[in-house]
Amino acid sequence: MKLLEMFVNLDIYHEDIQVLIGSAKDINKEIKKQYDIADVMEDNEGLTMVLTNSHKEVLPQIMMLIKDDGKDGYMFYDTLCHEIVHGISRLFVSRAIKDDLENDEPRAYPSGYVMGMVVKEYKRWIKQPSSNKTTK
């Protein structure tokens, strides 16, 4: 199985969310190659990270990693939704945006957008023959 890698751009927040979907082995291999981080996915169905550089400065990117077998099961959507909540929370923290329990639209709109973009690409990806499953 190959890896789905995509970036969801949230223009209004000047932020890209990097999304990697695939087997734990493929995700770990890609993370090691791109960021020199060791096996992060062995015990996780999903993981959301904000990367920092060697000076502990936050890099302008949120990364969501989601383990999936490409069979379009409910666990994928459950995990995706869960990680989007974390991703948007990290976005709010990095932009010093305060949550307002009386008006959750600032959180709902980007959450829905990320979900829609990822699901659209995921549906395309799972239809591909496994030898071609790499998307950027």
Residue 136 lies in a domain: no
Q: Tell me how far apart the alpha carbons of residues 48 and 50 are, in angstroms, rounded to a whole number.
A: 7
DSSP 53: -
Give the length of the chain.
136
User: Among the residues of 58-135, which ranges form H helices?
Assistant: 74-94, 105-127
Residue 24 lies in a domain: yes
Query: What is the pTM for the complete model shown?
Result: 0.83
Residue range 76-117, pLDDT digits in tens: 898 999 999 999 988 888 888 888 889 999 999 999 999 999
Residue 135 lies in a domain: no
How many separate domains does the chain show?
1
Domain containing 63 equals 4-129
Exposure on the CB side of residue 80, measured as CA atoms within 13 A: 24
Residue 70 lies in a domain: yes
